[in-house]
Chain A
């Protein structure tokens, strides 16, 4: 039984982690491509159209990877989490079915037109198809986060005697207080990823002395989008998301922040340190006194509950993982703001394209927004443990009863192999497109 649950969890974690590497770029990049296309329509400067076309090539491969790794996600609710699906399907099935009906049809119908219809449609309609693809991808994000929010903070439901959750208020799924901050937080995080990717490719061209015109455009656009999104992802969206955790999942908040004991007179904020679960303390800690109380409640001496106040059976299952996930996300987020503000300052002083050290840093930043996004999701998901539906349904109660661990390990290994291949193909093909560079209009 233990093994079964373990492999079910690992398979879901692995497939969703790999999957989300792609949509986070899709959602942000579709916005930026629409922006390039818009700039072209306004200025009639062919360069912007070439930029849009260049990014569409990368977008197409990225989108395809997102689609093929996304279908297994919907299936796995049933294959590996049958009990959970049976009990909650009447509710989360709503938002998941809506995702299929409202966003996948929209995206898939117009993606083909967007990628291959430029000549057939003319530039204005082509812009519209791009906008619809963007809309579809954000609608998909919204409905997934609506599903996620219900699991974090269940609303509009009642539980029947047989343990089944039934919906009694459809509107509540969308006025869920957990939903809107998380949605905008996530979307801004995805714009952070696309901004850094666009800026990094721009920096690569500038440092290479190739396609320099495009290099400047990409760095400029990446920095503008990057400075806005990396601030918005922290404040107000990240802040509000964290306040939801404090309010509705205090034990999760304590674990995220590494607070083992409640401290009277205000809690410190931990910058670095390793949770020591055995001795219930943080090793090698560097912390700022009272600052966490201030950030959370705007009062220096506000009390924040430590893990000691809760029952051990309700502790998040993996406290160190949760703590690291959260700290890595916040640490990287802070670096993103700092770097983008500095880059924007140099841009304002018209020195950015010649300041080599910033370009080098921008170029090498590519993996980090992906790491930050992934760690953010780990914080949310590990933070919800040991529950599937917070406080109502435990993860141990949700797995498929008849699928043996050997079968799950078999499919897990299959996914690992297949996704390794997909990852290699993605890197090769996108690398080739980047190396070739945009086509300047003749």
Chain B
């Protein structure tokens, strides 16, 4: 049962990354390239009717984490206290930036909320990448100092950074050179992903420029992936163990590479959806590879004293996990139905949806 809920949780998080990821990316594009009013309109129209439902995936993932792996929920949410609360604040700014902009027609009002939306999206992409980096790197569970735990073995707390920004330092911080690297990768790939979504859902005058942008950023992405893979072993000495013992897992990095390769052809796609599909593959493959590399760990321990948190030592009891399957199955079917309805109604290009107009 633990394994079932692990797969459910990872699937939901991957869906979140793909769906809200394009919202963040669209926000970043909006921030840097949204100069003309009609371009900005096209971008907000393309995500307007979806962003709220997309955001629900993180809330629902949080709920599943809470009930299936309560110890991990308690440990990681309190340990990553500051960045999580800041993510909440940024989500608020992203939401009101999108929703309140059209309420008053005034240049200053609009510019303020445009920036709020764009900057919040950029920082959210960065923060989520940093969060992933923190999970891969692991934390000092139990806050061990000189071989003694200062807290229960599954609790910890991290400040935002330590002065050296060194991931291997005794006193870790949320932001170090490794996590910031993953944060930058997240910003780059989500910008591309958002650009692909805009290309897919609009006839904006930006689309040609966006295709060029995706093409160019893909080289940057490739370089960043090479860098991160070559430094990964410093953080996680045996990143390929799981892959060697279970070779079928190589399908995930392969999916990621297909996504990456596909995006080099972005300028010649016949269908506008293709780019988006390839960036989704990249995100899915990248996320799954990362999760698979540390499985069954969910939060590795960086000290010798306390064990890592794995899907087995943080799960709820058997009865709860079993009974959850029933309602979850019903809910999952409903969610699928809503998703199809929503995307059927708002299918195709959305330039004329008139989102946020009053």
Q: What residues make up the interface of A, taking CB atoms closer than 8 Å to B? A: 57, 60-61, 64, 67-69, 71-72, 74-75, 77-80, 82-83, 85-94, 96-102, 104-106, 108-113, 116-117, 120-121, 166-168, 170, 400-404, 407, 410-411, 414, 418, 422, 425, 429, 432
Query: Which of B75-109 touch A at CB < 8 Å?
Result: 75-79, 81-82, 84-85, 88-89, 91-92, 95-96, 99-100, 103-104
Complex interface: chain B residues within 8 A of A120 (CB): 345
Complex interface: chain A residues within 8 A of B103 (CB): 61, 429, 432
CB <8 Å contact, A166 and B89: no
Q: B73 contacts which of A67, A85, A112, A113 (Cβ < 8 Å)?
A: A85
Give chain B nearest CB distance to A162 CB in angstroms.
11
CB <8 Å contact, B323 and A79: no
CA distance A75 to B77 in the complex (A): 7
CB <8 Å contact, A79 and B67: no
Interface centre among B328, B341, B345 (most CB of A within 10 A): B345
Give chain A nearest CB distance to B47 CB in angstroms.
11
Give chain A nearest CB distance to B320 CB in angstroms.
4
Give chain A nearest CB distance to B33 CB in angstroms.
25
CB <8 Å contact, A90 and B63: no
Closest 7 CB pairs of A and B: A89-B70, A78-B77, A93-B67, A97-B63, A90-B316, A100-B60, A101-B331
CB <8 Å contact, B91 and A68: yes
**In the complex, which residue of chain A has the Cβ closest to the Cβ of B143?**
A402
Give chain A nearest CB distance to B80 CB in angstroms.
8
Query: Which of B94-126 touch A at CB < 8 Å?
Result: 95-96, 99-100, 103-104
Q: Which of B150-158, B214-222, B224-232, B235-243 contacts A (4 or more CB under 8 A)?
A: B150-158
CB <8 Å contact, A72 and B88: yes
CB <8 Å contact, A113 and B63: no
Give chain B nearest CB distance to A144 CB in angstroms.
12
CB <8 Å contact, B63 and A100: yes
Given known A64-B96, A116-B353, contact A403–B67 (CB-CB < 8 A): no
Query: Which of B11-66 touch A at CB < 8 Å?
Result: 48-50, 52-53, 55-56, 59-60, 62-64, 66
**In the complex, which residue of chain B has the Cβ closest to the Cβ of A77?**
B66
CA distance A98 to B92 in the complex (A): 23
CA distance A111 to B341 in the complex (A): 12
Contacts A82-B155, A90-B70 supplied; 19 other A-B pairs, CB < 8 Å: A64-B95, A75-B62, A77-B66, A78-B84, A79-B85, A82-B78, A86-B70, A91-B320, A92-B66, A100-B56, A100-B60, A101-B327, A101-B331, A101-B335, A109-B339, A112-B346, A117-B345, A166-B317, A411-B85
Complex interface: chain B residues within 8 A of A414 (CB): 85, 89
Give chain B nearest CB distance to A310 CB in angstroms.
32
CB <8 Å contact, B316 and A422: no
CA distance A418 to B89 in the complex (A): 8
Give chain B nearest CB distance to A121 CB in angstroms.
7
CB <8 Å contact, B48 and A110: no
Complex interface: chain B residues within 8 A of A105 (CB): 53, 56, 60, 331, 334-335, 338
29 contacts between A and B (CB under 8 A): A64-B95, A64-B100, A68-B92, A68-B95, A78-B62, A80-B78, A83-B74, A86-B75, A89-B70, A89-B73, A90-B317, A94-B67, A94-B324, A97-B67, A100-B59, A100-B63, A101-B335, A105-B53, A105-B331, A105-B334, A108-B52, A108-B53, A109-B338, A113-B342, A167-B323, A400-B78, A401-B78, A402-B79, A403-B78
CA distance A99 to B331 in the complex (A): 10
**In the complex, which residue of chain B has the Cβ closest to the Cβ of A95?**
B67
Complex interface: chain A residues within 8 A of B248 (CB): none
Complex interface: chain B residues within 8 A of A85 (CB): 66, 70, 73-74, 77
CB <8 Å contact, B49 and A168: no
CA distance A89 to B338 in the complex (A): 28
Complex interface: chain B residues within 8 A of A425 (CB): 96, 100
Given known A68-B92, A167-B320, contact A86–B71 (CB-CB < 8 A): yes
CB <8 Å contact, A402 and B78: yes
Give chain A nearest CB distance to B96 CB in angstroms.
7
B255 at the interface (CB under 8 A from A): no
CB <8 Å contact, A116 and B323: no
Give chain A nearest CB distance to B74 CB in angstroms.
4
Complex interface: chain A residues within 8 A of B60 (CB): 97, 100-101, 104-105
Given known A80-B78, A401-B155, A402-B78, contact A97–B52 (CB-CB < 8 A): no
CA distance A69 to B96 in the complex (A): 11
**In the complex, which residue of chain B has the Cβ closest to the Cβ of A78?**
B77
Interface centre among A67, A108, A113 (most CB of B within 10 A): A108
Complex interface: chain B residues within 8 A of A410 (CB): 82
CB <8 Å contact, B81 and A407: yes
Q: A86 contacts which of B53, B74, B91, B92 (Cβ < 8 Å)?
A: B74
CB <8 Å contact, A79 and B81: yes
Give chain A nearest CB distance to B142 CB in angstroms.
10
Complex interface: chain B residues within 8 A of A78 (CB): 62, 66, 73-74, 76-78, 84
B190 at the interface (CB under 8 A from A): no
Complex interface: chain A residues within 8 A of B53 (CB): 105, 108-109, 112
B319 at the interface (CB under 8 A from A): yes
CB <8 Å contact, B52 and A166: no
CB <8 Å contact, B74 and A166: no
Q: B342 contacts which of A64, A112, A167, A401 (Cβ < 8 Å)?
A: A112
Complex interface: chain A residues within 8 A of B67 (CB): 89-90, 92-94, 96-97
CB <8 Å contact, B62 and A100: yes
CB <8 Å contact, B66 and A108: no
Complex interface: chain B residues within 8 A of A121 (CB): 345
Give chain B nearest CB distance to A101 CB in angstroms.
4
CB <8 Å contact, B342 and A402: no
B358 at the interface (CB under 8 A from A): yes
Give chain B nearest CB distance to A434 CB in angstroms.
13
Q: B96 contacts which of A68, A74, A112, A166 (Cβ < 8 Å)?
A: A68
**In the complex, which residue of chain B has the Cβ closest to the Cβ of A136?**
B338
CA distance A401 to B64 in the complex (A): 23
Complex interface: chain A residues within 8 A of B48 (CB): 112, 116
B355 at the interface (CB under 8 A from A): yes
**In the complex, which residue of chain A has the Cβ closest to the Cβ of B68?**
A93
CB <8 Å contact, B157 and A402: yes
Q: B81 contacts which of A64, A77, A168, A400 (Cβ < 8 Å)?
A: A400
